[in-house]
Structure 1
Amino acid sequence: MNLDENVVENYINTVIIENKISEVSFKNLEKFHFAYDIIDKIAEINPKKIAILHIDENKIEKSINYKELKNCSNRMANFFAAQGIKKGDAVLIALRRAYQFWYIFLGLIKIGAIPIPVVSQLREVDIKARINISNAKAIISLYGEDFQKETDKVINECVNTTILRFSIRGGNKNWINIDKENEKFSNDLVKPQDYNAMDIMFILFTSGTSGTPKMVVHDNLYPLAHYITGKYWNNIEQDKLHLTISDTGWGKALWGKLFGPWLSGGCVFVYDFRKFEGSDILHMIEKYKINTICMPPTMYRMLLRSEIKKYDLSSITCACSAGEILPKDIINRFYLLTGIKIANGYGQSETGLLIADLKKRKCNTGSIGYPNPIYKIELMKNTGEIITSEEIGEVGEIVIDCRKKIPIGLASYLQVSEKKETSHIINGYYHTNDLAYRDAMGAYWYIGRNDTLIKSSGYKINPYEIESVLANLNYIRECKVYGVVDEIRGNIIKADIVLSEEKVGTEELKKEIQDFVKTTTAPYKYPRKIEFVSAIEKTMTGKIVRN
């Protein structure tokens, strides 16, 4: 039996047939509820088991066991219900990595309300759009921070001007102090009976790299898709510490700060930093003996620039990356310094983990790995034909075959104006709009978004490939490659480059960079235009803005 069969058999037996996961069992999938069936049951069986080890920005530790997690989330549920929040009400949450996020998220889903995590960097136009699109009943933020001030600017311009405002770490006449008020409520909660597995559990906003934000809807079954994320990709072990770096406003935080670790029996390690400092993270890994980590490529690069050799990282048994393409140079350098090969992973806000370098699989460096076997992943040509396994290297769109059954973990989009849900499923296939190809071993190699390929002089050029080449130059801190209109070639390649502090951008340096690309990859791929910039524009989820 190969790994894929093991994973599928384990998943089906554990999750679908036996209804047993982590340390607990649940009655049936039709009534599955993550908070009641996983968190509360672990609290009953093993109340002192540590669920979260939280370090705040002042390096103050807080250890949270499952009993506390259950009691505090129950109190939150009772508090919100007393404020008039009920099943189906949307609540925006912008709490960075504050430990109260976990109490609030679980408390809301216990009463059937719908948490909508958002990043705290949003400004007034972003906040107004999300309040109006979601018709939010309430909004929760950190007291006195910019997000709260930006909300106050636009609250009277929103469709719902009576939106409830809650905050942690303080309050005023407009913002109710949750920390103070929820203490008045009971730890006991009457479990509602009017819920089922297909109810909306939470919503994420996504806009890709451009466009109007859309609401991605996930139901109560969604967490179960991340059993494989935690167990076979992050390789999380019982009671070991797992660090996913993401802000709680990102969908990835739910993968690695809630569902994956707790379904695998691990402990969530949280460091609520304001600014990412590589040395800070390395110190945390060394001090707390963190076992598994997951972060985007940019942050791995920052670790590598932080005198990584000074730190004892021997506790790390698995390192993963997602969110952007992971350049080979980062994988190779991290391996040389730590002995750990970073495992790539690919998924979307709309899905669970789709493709990854799963446990015990041997992937060529740079590939995103093999399909998660609970999904039927295919590559589709623009003609609609499925690419066969014999067509090695043929580029196609990553699609999920949903003709027989829509798999667990696949979302829909909620169109509020029409009060209905839609999806990307066309003729039985879910379309990711992402391009990839398969190698001879069946591993997938990510190319990019369907709309980011550069067409120049008859060539189709992958910007990620050129960015990966440029990343080999130590003085390039960040870069973005894209096409710009040219009368002769249709498009030419342009590179926006952020240099390290000690390097000065000159015409001579541009020529040096161009020559390096020409000699490292096919010459037609070199950037004919180079601009030295101070920063690369990114979306709120940390992805490079491509359009």
Structure 2
Amino acid sequence: MSGTARSAGAASFAAARDYLLTHREDYGKARLGFRWPRPTEFNWALDWFDTIGQRHDRPALWIVEDDDSEQILTFGQLSRRSNQLANWLRSHGVARGDRLLLMLGNQVELWESILAAMKLGTVIIPATQMLGPDDLRDRVERGKVRHVLTTADDTGKFAEVPGDYTRIAVGGPVTGWQDYADSAAAGEEFTPDGTTRADDTLLLYFTSGTTARPKLVEHTHMSYPVGHLSTMYWIGLEPGDVHLNISSPGWAKHAWSNFFAPWNAEATVFVYNYKRFDAERLLHHMERCRITSFCAPPTVWRMLIQADLRTLRTPPKKVVGAGEPLNPEVIEQVREAWGVTIRDGFGQTESSVQIANTPGQPVKPGSMGRPLPGFDVELIEPVTGKPSEEGEICLKLDPRPVGLMVGYADDAERTADVMRDGYYHTGDVGSRDADGYITYVGRADDVFKASDYRISPFELESVLLEHEAVAEAAVVPSPHPVRLAVPKAYVVLARGYAPDRATALSLLRFARERLASYKRVRRLEFTDLPKTISGKIRRVELRNRERDLHDHGGNGSSAEFREEDFPELKSS
């Protein structure tokens, strides 16, 4: 790729980024005037990241360990280190178009490796360290992996994973594996071997598989690096911010907020590696390191509010949540303590953020906001296939948003299905109000009917989570001879609460007082929840369990509590 081509791609990217920064709190202007840059040639690591270090040498990555030790690397240092690594990897046969399975923790080598692979034009398959040999065998085989880069501690998992792939270990020499530390002797100047086209494959993500075998999501050198301009805009990131995102490597959200979005904004990526979550310790480091921007999944937010949030004297001004919508109690407690409102955002492994509450705009309780600049969203009614005020959240494909995947690798049939009729179909259901705000209803295959009423599991779960005894909840349809189905809640209790009749009565009464009669939780069971490896609840497993338990008119579990078992509820 010539310097002119690199400059053209970088210039269009920078112009689009600067437009969003300029209108960071003016949703109307950002929506109206933003246009996706669409360069034909673009390598984000070479054309964007490396140039930041040339302009100034701010901290790019700040990692604090559980023992309070820390590492801080500038944009320039990471640029040079990734050049060394790219040169060394090339000498070991890692080439353009090859597929590299990358399985590291939140350590400096992870960021170095992503940048180096991008510079080489190598396709990255991110993997969480929680994977076992069976999952890794599937990824190596279906992902057509040519190279594996992992920690020395995890190399043993690959003893049961056949394949002729290069083996590279971080953290010490391992017999039969190349030692990553040797890359430090390579040269600091890197010359690409050719052009990186913007539509070349960059990332292949295995989804977490809540309903089926993980899909293989394909992203390009444009769809994630450029697409995450929307994520930068949602969070409100600016040059000089110190952004903390609680996320594990291997999942798309890590690339969203621990890589592309903050570095698009020239902000610092901050990571706190803890062995066990400790809210007080987290707040201490947020104060000490002056965190200005914070993103966490609902589970972390729910644990965080158990601590005294007011101990954080300089709270971040930008706070967001993603993964699942947050319940109102969490949002209110954070607002009271920090004077800021947590802003939800909606996206998928398949895309950058599509819908969100953006900085400077009113936040409506329960709503995840409005379509982001560059995304045209329709709610498609499933029966008629027409736009409606409630329906499946879909993205218009004309013009196609840059932040959307190419499709599912090696699965043309599934790709065609989700890209049908001029829309990308998310599989999620939402409702839109008169002001254009969209509220999440649930997964299309999670929403069910009871007595001919549509029930959103998320709405009922949000109510249950407001009860102090509930740590987690999942609502699914439980077969009923008259109503077709009734809502049943599977509940994980908070510490100190017993799974007994008294707790069940308290929860059923609590939900009864806060929900319309047709939405009542009429059955519940105290148990652990089945989850994917990324922590998402597998409601499909619970639905199937209910069908099996009640097949042919049979009874439910002996651990199940039913509304009709409590005469005292009839008078309440």
**TM-score where L is the length of structure 2:** 0.86
Amino acid at match of 2:317: T
Is residue 460 of structure 1 aligned with residue 454 of structure 2? yes
* 1:125-180, Cα deviation, whole Å (9 max, x unpaired): 211111111011122222214xx33332x213xxxx222222211231133221x2
* Alignment correspondent of 1:538: 531
Is residue 432 of structure 1 aligned with residue 455 of structure 2? no
* Alignment correspondent of 1:171: 173
Cα drift, residue 330 of structure 1: 1.1
Cα drift, residue 208 of structure 1: 4.2
Amino acid at match of 1:314: T
Distance in 2 (alpha carbons) for counterparts of 1:414 and 1:319? 32
Cα drift, residue 102 of structure 1: 0.5
Give the one of 37, 44, 53 matched to 1:43.
Answer: 53
* Alignment correspondent of 2:560: none
1:413, 1:423 within 8 Å by CA — same for their partners in 2? no
After TM superposition, the structure 1 = structure 2 runs for residues 164-203 of structure 1, keeping only pairs within 5 Å, are 164-178=166-180, 180-203=181-204
* Alignment correspondent of 2:16: none
After TM superposition, the structure 1 = structure 2 runs for residues 180-329 of structure 1, keeping only pairs within 5 Å, are 180-222=181-223, 223-230=225-232, 232-309=233-310, 311-329=311-329
Is residue 380 of structure 1 aligned with residue 380 of structure 2? yes
Cα drift, residue 529 of structure 1: 2.3
SS at match of 1:72: helix
Cα drift, residue 450 of structure 1: 0.4
SS at match of 2:88: helix
After TM superposition, the structure 1 = structure 2 runs for residues 108-127 of structure 1, keeping only pairs within 5 Å, are 108-127=117-136
Runs of 4+, deviation exceeding 4 Å? 417-423
Distance in 2 (alpha carbons) for counterparts of 1:214 and 1:515? 41
SS at match of 2:367: coil
Cα drift, residue 313 of structure 1: 4.4
CA RMSD of aligned residues (A): 2.1
2:31, 2:372 within 8 Å by CA — same for their partners in 1? no
Amino acid at match of 1:30: T
SS at match of 2:197: coil
* Alignment correspondent of 1:134: 143
Distance in 1 (alpha carbons) for counterparts of 2:65 and 2:164? 32
Q: Report sequence identity in percent.
A: 28
* Alignment correspondent of 2:65: 56
Cα drift, residue 418 of structure 1: 7.8
Is residue 32 of structure 1 aligned with residue 42 of structure 2? yes
Amino acid at match of 1:6: K
Q: How many residues align?
A: 516
Distance in 1 (alpha carbons) for counterparts of 2:481 and 2:522? 14
Distance in 2 (alpha carbons) for counterparts of 1:339 and 1:399? 34
Amino acid at match of 2:237: I
1:411, 1:423 within 8 Å by CA — same for their partners in 2? no
Amino acid at match of 1:332: E
Distance in 2 (alpha carbons) for counterparts of 1:420 and 1:522? 38
Cα drift, residue 423 of structure 1: 6.8
* Alignment correspondent of 1:506: 500
SS at match of 1:518: helix
Cα drift, residue 417 of structure 1: 7.8
Give the one of 385, 391, 406 matched to 1:396.
Answer: 391
* 1:182-212, Cα deviation, whole Å (9 max, x unpaired): 1121111112323211101111111441211
Distance in 1 (alpha carbons) for counterparts of 2:513 and 2:415? 50
Cα drift, residue 277 of structure 1: 2.6
Cα drift, residue 215 of structure 1: 1.1
Distance in 1 (alpha carbons) for counterparts of 2:183 and 2:481? 64
Distance in 1 (alpha carbons) for counterparts of 2:494 and 2:361? 36
Distance in 2 (alpha carbons) for counterparts of 1:419 and 1:464? 30
Distance in 2 (alpha carbons) for counterparts of 1:99 and 1:270? 10
Distance in 1 (alpha carbons) for counterparts of 2:66 and 2:97? 34
Amino acid at match of 2:532: T
Amino acid at match of 1:400: L
SS at match of 1:314: coil
Long gaps (5+) in structure 2: 1-22, 541-572
Distance in 2 (alpha carbons) for counterparts of 1:10 and 1:316? 29
Give the one of 120, 144, 149 matched to 2:153.
Answer: 144
Is residue 357 of structure 1 aligned with residue 357 of structure 2? yes
Relative to 1, partners in 2 of residues 1:517 and 1:125: Cα closer, same or farther, differing over 3 Å?
Answer: same
Is residue 473 of structure 1 aligned with residue 480 of structure 2? no
Amino acid at match of 1:171: P
* Alignment correspondent of 1:527: 521
Long gaps (5+) in structure 1: 17-27, 389-393
Amino acid at match of 2:157: E
* Alignment correspondent of 1:337: 337
Cα drift, residue 384 of structure 1: 4.2
1:197, 1:219 within 8 Å by CA — same for their partners in 2? yes
* Alignment correspondent of 2:487: 493
Distance in 1 (alpha carbons) for counterparts of 2:129 and 2:464? 32
Distance in 2 (alpha carbons) for counterparts of 1:415 and 1:364? 38
**TM-score where L is the length of structure 1:** 0.90
* 1:504-540, Cα deviation, whole Å (9 max, x unpaired): 111121112111111111133233222212x333222
Distance in 2 (alpha carbons) for counterparts of 1:423 and 1:87? 30
**After the TM superposition, which of the residue ranges 457-466 and 522-531 deviates more from structure 2?**
522-531
